Amino acid sequence: MEYATLALGLALPWLLGIALLLALGWPRSLAEAPDTDWDSADVALIIGYGYFIGSLALTLWMRVLSAADVGFSRIAVGAPLLAVVAGLFYWLIQGGRLSVANLRGAAAALVRLPLPRWERWIWAGLLIWLALRFILIAAEVAWRPLYPWDAWVQWATKARVWYELGRIVLFVSADAWLAGAGGAYSDASPDNPATIPLLQVWSSIALGRWDDAAMNWPWPLMLLALAFAVYGALRSVDLPALGALIGVYLVASLPLLDAHAALAGYPDLMASAVYTLAALAFHRWALSRDVRDVVVAAALALACPFIELAGTLWALTLVPGLIVMIWPRRGLQIVGLGFAVAALTVLALTQSEPSIFGYSLHLDYRPPWHSLTDAYLLLGNWHLLWYAVIVLAIVGARQLLRPPLAPLAMVVASGLGLLFIAAAFAQSNLWVAPLGSLNRATLHLAPLLVCLSALLWRELSASARAASLPSAPELAHDARL
């Protein structure tokens, strides 16, 4: 019985996010033609984005309850959200925007794809591999107690205290706690945001008891939702179905990403997924100019700082892409000037020692090139990701600086710049400490790198096909002959 309530508790934020997105009319095609068969891209987008939107809404509601001094419980947390879900679905059904036929069409859209026979075999093989991968990761989460070091000294400490007390209470530094901070608790990182511990608290509340393994079920669900979202995003920009599934495979096979799903408890998987989905939603807006894409993208971007401390830095890397989206003609020049100013600022900070409010802004240039080479190119953290990225960037440099890829390319360039700062100035704690280790910081950018690589491959393939076709004058000449 307790695992049934856990399953319902895990499903609640997912249903909430799906209901919110459908009520918003996102993606646009679902709102404009509700009576038509739903496309697999739209269904995958709703499922993938819905989980993260709903999870963020759940933790926001738990913050509201705690601020109102209402204790956490299944009724206090779950009942109002369940009522919202039921109300939204009722409104959608009454308004003719959702029906049983839609749901049947949605299920069919994901499994019945018009593919040639050889592509169907590859499709089936990839789906079986992905299903097996997700099952094994879920088994790891179910069987292994909370394991990663930072997970139980920085995050689960808050989850345990907040679960036992039924509300959010203050965590302070060890010095403040020893000085007698009344009613406060302490752990290794008291300033960490509350989103991750609140998800663990809700899992334990839904289960009915504290369980440091079962509370981590959101992590395999995050990876599954990310897979759906990536497939939907790639399909929605006309990548073939098999190509989009290969993109999902490449994302889901990243070793470090899988490790963060199986060894649950870190915030990096959720932070990476939310950041990636925000960037892909902005990319949709660059193509469609639909305000609903902006709403979804902005909601996810603004949520980044509430997942981990470095979230603010990663959210800021979306700004160059936005500039190119808003000003397509001069955006690249503005962003290029901004990159130059940032590089000069970094150079100036390496040659001076200014300070603000007692914090030194000096950057100590110590790039660990040997370790970087090992982490990205020689060890098994990323498979062949960086080899593929380097080759594609060289071959497709022109496509990356032109629509439709330029905005997304600028986001990735900003992210790479942030990773460079994290690597080259690792001793400069004020700037780099929130990013954590380099590999964990890279995890934020890796899924987006895969998506951009898949989109660039599509552009290169389209250019190659166009170059191989005869031109109009040649066709006219052949016709005269």
pLDDT tens for residues 234-246? Answer: 999 889 999 999 9
Cα of 226 vs its chain's centroid, Å: 7
* Same domain (yes/no): 311, 436: yes
Residue 204 inside a domain? The answer is: yes
Residue 473, amino acid: P
DSSP 209-221: S--TTGGGTHHHH
Question: Which pLDDT does position 427 carry in this prediction?
Answer: 57
Question: Which pLDDT does position 478 carry in this prediction?
Answer: 53
* Same domain (yes/no): 204, 326: no
Residue 296 inside a domain? The answer is: no
- Lowest-confidence range among 27-31, 358-362, 422-426, 471-475? 471-475
* Same domain (yes/no): 264, 347: no
Share of the chain above pLDDT 70, in %: 91
The Cα 416–Cα 372 span in angstroms is: 13
Residue 289 inside a domain? The answer is: no
The Cα 293–Cα 432 span in angstroms is: 31
The Cα 169–Cα 207 span in angstroms is: 22
Q: Is residue 461 predicted with pLDDT exceeding 60?
A: yes
pLDDT tens for residues 97-107? Answer: 887 777 777 77
* Same domain (yes/no): 215, 159: yes
Residue 473 inside a domain? The answer is: no
- Domain final position from 220, 253, 273: 273
- Domain final position from 221, 252, 273: 273
In which residue are the tokens 């996102």 written?
Answer: 26
* Same domain (yes/no): 162, 263: yes
- Domain final position from 222, 256, 273: 273
Residue 91 inside a domain? The answer is: yes
Residue 100 inside a domain? The answer is: yes
* Same domain (yes/no): 73, 151: yes
pLDDT tens for residues 37-88? Answer: 678 888 999 999 999 999 999 999 999 999 999 999 999 999 999 999 999 9
* Same domain (yes/no): 194, 342: no
Query: Confidence band (pLDDT; 50, 70, 90) for 399?
Result: very high
* Same domain (yes/no): 46, 166: yes
Query: Confidence band (pLDDT; 50, 70, 90) for 429?
Result: very low
* Same domain (yes/no): 28, 105: yes
* Same domain (yes/no): 244, 350: no
* Same domain (yes/no): 31, 175: yes
The Cα 119–Cα 113 span in angstroms is: 10
The first and second tokens of residue 35, run together, are 């009576």
Q: Is residue 91 predicted with pLDDT exceeding 90?
A: yes
Question: Which pLDDT does position 435 carry in this prediction?
Answer: 54
Structural domain boundaries enclosing 142: 2-273
The Cα 300–Cα 372 span in angstroms is: 30
The first and second tokens of residue 38, run together, are 């739903």
Count of structural domains within the chain = 2
Question: Which pLDDT does position 71 carry in this prediction?
Answer: 94
Q: Is residue 469 predicted with pLDDT exceeding 90?
A: no
Residue 478 inside a domain? The answer is: no
* Same domain (yes/no): 106, 225: yes
pLDDT tens for residues 185-240? Answer: 999 899 999 999 999 999 999 999 999 999 999 999 999 999 999 999 999 988 99
Residue 146 inside a domain? The answer is: yes
